[in-house]
Amino acid sequence: MPSFFDRLATAVKQKRTPLVVGLDPRYASLPKSLQRGDALDARAAAFREFSIGLLDVVAPLVPAVKPQVAFFEQLGWRGMQALADVVEHAKKLGVLVIADAKRNDIGSTAEGYADGWLGEQSPWRGDALTISPYLGDDSLEPFVRTAKERNAGLFVLVKTSNPGGKFLQDLTAGERTIYGTVGDLVESLSRDLAGECGYGVAGAVVGATYPEQLAELRARMPHTWFLVPGYGSQGGTAADVAGAFDSSGLGAVVNSSRAIIFAHARDEFAGLDWQQAVEAATQQAIADLGTACPLA
Amino acid sequence: MPSFFDRLATAVKQKRTPLVVGLDPRYASLPKSLQRGDALDARAAAFREFSIGLLDVVAPLVPAVKPQVAFFEQLGWRGMQALADVVEHAKKLGVLVIADAKRNDIGSTAEGYADGWLGEQSPWRGDALTISPYLGDDSLEPFVRTAKERNAGLFVLVKTSNPGGKFLQDLTAGERTIYGTVGDLVESLSRDLAGECGYGVAGAVVGATYPEQLAELRARMPHTWFLVPGYGSQGGTAADVAGAFDSSGLGAVVNSSRAIIFAHARDEFAGLDWQQAVEAATQQAIADLGTACPLA
């Protein structure tokens, strides 16, 4: 099996878009037809049905989906059981799965997380996982080891899209910002393990809401694929993410969640059923990103 | 209900020890009598039986237990279902539960995690949760809000016990180290919300393996309760953690996992059954920490 980033590059070229759809099921925002009461098992069933319905619409259109683990975890193990079904359905449809879990720990504990999300036996076995770097360089190693073994990918938090991201990430220590320090570490991991597409085992999360830093990091991290949140509902535009791509239009995927998955609530899509609205919003985002991404 | 840290202070005084037992079920290290094959459901059943057996021994002896979520998550949702049973059993026995999950995200996503671990409906509802600060000050707010509402506690990663912790945490930006910057933020949250015992809603994870920094942070964060990993198998001694306590012996709990829960494998406890070995190791750690902790 090719490496995750080689598979992602192929999928981006095939689907002709860097758009990733975020599976973020907030219960109150689901189509009313899927809401069946507040009990945890009813909500978990609704998340399953909603997410599988989303996958049926978006899997043919985009290279990858990004389930936000927090929303499933909010429902306890029943939510995590629903997530296992969602991941399985995504694999059946042939769309790549980036588990957005932002995990981290040290040593054998980090191995536990890596195994839970990328391991062979895991019911949540995704293609890639987001991880957090606060615990330091040695905390990333078990994840890198597992990702290499499994041809899976990682996305390390580098520069996040929220206003408070600057609290630590923008501090300068010596010659470098903190996000630059983490970015250099990630780039060094990826340079050593670059696949055919030129990108290595560790990607980086870099927000759309800070376009200058996005362009700076693109130049600084030539072997690191970016996962870009913050496009769409969080305020990032296609122009803001333009700096994330390499000259072939590869090197970044751009996530949109709410604007797509809750498109049934957008006035412009009134009259469509919820899945038709999702399809229309996905096509709209693909067209919009097409203006910024130089895919041949 | 009193705040988490008031309840923790009461429990520490009652049990006369700051020892917390970490529930870190690594399958290969379990007593042979509990191992029943490699399938996920068999391993989850073994984790349940082992953890409940541990609780039965340690709940009368220590103020709190700290399940390491990674090991349960490694088994997929079946592991997380077992964890729900473990948390329920701990509550029945009246021992406080600190879920060591190191979660973090932003906005409504962070609310999802807070609700999943501290919320009223959650099957994993613990008394406190560990969280990571890389995403910044605004990422902590949803956790603080939920913790206040639920009289729950948080422990924010400040200075961790692993060698790589220094990679980011020990960098100096302006006048402050990164761990100092995070520590000051946590202290400001706790100062504003200090309970009867003098400690506020947010605690800090500060490793036993860096005693100088532990003492520095104790002085710098007078309203912040510490959770100290790294004692025991990771190399920290009772003398190393002495600086974590205030003059009454409060203000810190000290975690030990492997040396206690896998005590059946220690030569000195040969001849005891695994639960007797756990009890002996727990009493040994309590006596050892008693030399460092000035509890009246």
Stretch A134-157: mean pLDDT: 97
Q: Produce one character per residue of A236-274: b if its CB has 16 or more CB atoms within 10 Å, e if not.
A: bbbebbbbbbbeebbbbbbbbbbbbbbbbebeebeebeb
Optimal mutation site among B43, B74, B87, interface A, most CBs of chain A within 10 A: B74
Angle between helices A77-93 and A40-58 (to 10 degrees): 20
Contact between residue B58 and residue B78 where contact means Cβ atoms under 8 Å apart: no
B134 falls in which pLDDT band (50, 70, 90)? very high
For residue B8, the 8-state DSSP code is H
Optimal mutation site among A29, A48, A75, A77, interface B, most CBs of chain B within 10 A: A77
Contact check, Cβ <8 Å, B76/A84 = yes
CA distance A144 to B206: 26
Is A46 in a helix, a strand, or coil? helix
CA distance B42 to B51: 14
Q: Out of A13-27, B159-173, B183-197, pick the least confident.
A: B183-197
3-state helix, strand, coil in chain A (%, to 5): 50, 15, 35
pLDDT at residue B124, rounded to an integer: 96
Contact check, Cβ <8 Å, A113/B70 = yes
Instruction: Inform me whether the pLDDT recorded for A175 exceeds 90.
Output: yes
How do residues B5-24 score in pLDDT, each as one tens digit?
A: 999 999 999 999 999 999 99
pLDDT at residue A195, rounded to an integer: 79
Contact between residue A140 and residue A133 where contact means Cβ atoms under 8 Å apart: yes
Contact between residue B165 and residue B186 where contact means Cβ atoms under 8 Å apart: no
CA distance A3 to A11: 12
Encoding tokens for residue A274?
Answer: 């919820």
How do residues A52-84 score in pLDDT, each as one tens digit?
A: 999 999 999 999 999 999 999 999 999 999 999
CA distance A237 to A234: 9
Optimal mutation site among B106, B129, B184, interface A, most CBs of chain A within 10 A: B106
Contact check, Cβ <8 Å, B76/A116 = yes
Encoding tokens for residue A160?
Answer: 């996040």
Partner-chain residue, chosen from B108, B138, B168, that has the shortest CB–CB distance to A134: B168
User: Whose CA is closest to B161, among B103, B102, B66, B229?
Assistant: B229
Instruction: Inform me whether the pLDDT recorded for B45 exceeds 80.
Output: yes
Residues of B in contact with A70 (CB under 8 A): 103, 105, 109-110, 112-113, 116
- Identify each DSSP E strand in chain A by its residue range: 19-23, 64-67, 96-103, 128-131, 153-159, 172-173, 176-177, 202-206, 226-228, 252-256
Tell me, rounded to whole angstroms, the distance of Cα B35 from its chain centroid.
26
Instruction: Inform me whether the pLDDT recorded for A8 exceeds 90.
Output: yes
pLDDT at residue A205, rounded to an integer: 98
- The residue written with tokens 């696949």 in the block is A195
Contact check, Cβ <8 Å, B136/A83 = no
Percent of chain B, pLDDT > 70? 100
The residue of chain A with its CA nearest to that of B229 is: A106
How do residues B189-206 score in pLDDT, each as one tens digit?
A: 999 877 789 999 999 999
Stretch B212-231: mean pLDDT: 96
Residues of B in contact with A109 (CB under 8 A): 24, 68, 70-71
CA distance B132 to A102: 10
Which residues of A are part of the catalytic machinery?
102
Angle between helices B178-192 and B211-220 (to 10 degrees): 40
pLDDT at residue B82, rounded to an integer: 98
B51 falls in which pLDDT band (50, 70, 90)? very high
Stretch A240-261: mean pLDDT: 97
Contact check, Cβ <8 Å, B138/A109 = no
Contact check, Cβ <8 Å, A165/B135 = yes
Stretch A38-61: mean pLDDT: 97
Residues of A in contact with B68 (CB under 8 A): 105, 109, 112
Contact check, Cβ <8 Å, B138/A164 = yes
Contact check, Cβ <8 Å, B77/A74 = no
* A231–chain B nearest CA distance, Å: 15
B296 falls in which pLDDT band (50, 70, 90)? confident
Percent of chain B, pLDDT > 90? 95
Stretch A172-189: mean pLDDT: 97
Partner-chain residue, chosen from A76, A124, A164, that has the shortest CB–CB distance to B116: A76
CA distance B106 to B125: 21
How do residues B22-31 score in pLDDT, each as one tens digit?
A: 999 999 999 9
Within B131-210, residue ranges assigned H as helices are 137-150, 166-169, 178-192
The residue of chain B with its CA nearest to that of A73 is: B116
Instruction: Inform me whether the pLDDT recorded for B234 exceeds 80.
Output: yes
CA distance A191 to B202: 39
Burial class (CB in 10 A: 0-12, 13-18, 19+), A94: exposed
The reported pTM is 0.98
Encoding tokens for residue B163?
Answer: 């060698």
**What does B200-266 look like in DSSP terms, one character per residue?**
-SEEEEE-TT-HHHHHHHHHH-TT--EEE--BSTTSB-HHHHGGGS-TTS-SEEEEE-HHHHTGGGS
Instruction: Inform me whether the pLDDT recorded for A12 exceeds 90.
Output: yes
Optimal mutation site among A168, A177, A205, interface B, most CBs of chain B within 10 A: A168
Contact check, Cβ <8 Å, B107/A132 = no
Burial class (CB in 10 A: 0-12, 13-18, 19+), A101: buried
Instruction: Inform me whether the pLDDT recorded for A193 exceeds 80.
Output: no
Contact between residue B131 and residue B98 where contact means Cβ atoms under 8 Å apart: no
User: Whose CA is closest to B225, among B208, B250, B248?
Assistant: B250
Residues of B in contact with A172 (CB under 8 A): 173
**What does A115-132 look like in DSSP terms, one character per residue?**
HHHHSTT-TT--SEEEE-
Contact check, Cβ <8 Å, B162/A168 = no
Tell me, rounded to whole angstroms, the distance of Cα A245 from its chain centroid.
16
pLDDT at residue A43, rounded to an integer: 97
How do residues B69-105 score in pLDDT, each as one tens digit?
A: 999 999 999 999 999 999 999 999 999 999 999 999 9
> Could you tell me which residues come within 8 angstroms of residue B109 by beta carbon, excluding any fewer than 6 positions away?
A24, A68, A70, A71
For residue B52, the 8-state DSSP code is H
* A250–chain B nearest CA distance, Å: 26
pLDDT at residue B233, rounded to an integer: 82
pLDDT at residue B195, rounded to an integer: 79
Residues of B in contact with A71 (CB under 8 A): 109, 112
A7 falls in which pLDDT band (50, 70, 90)? very high
B102 is catalytic: yes
* A130–chain B nearest CA distance, Å: 11
Angle between helices B178-192 and B137-150 (to 10 degrees): 30
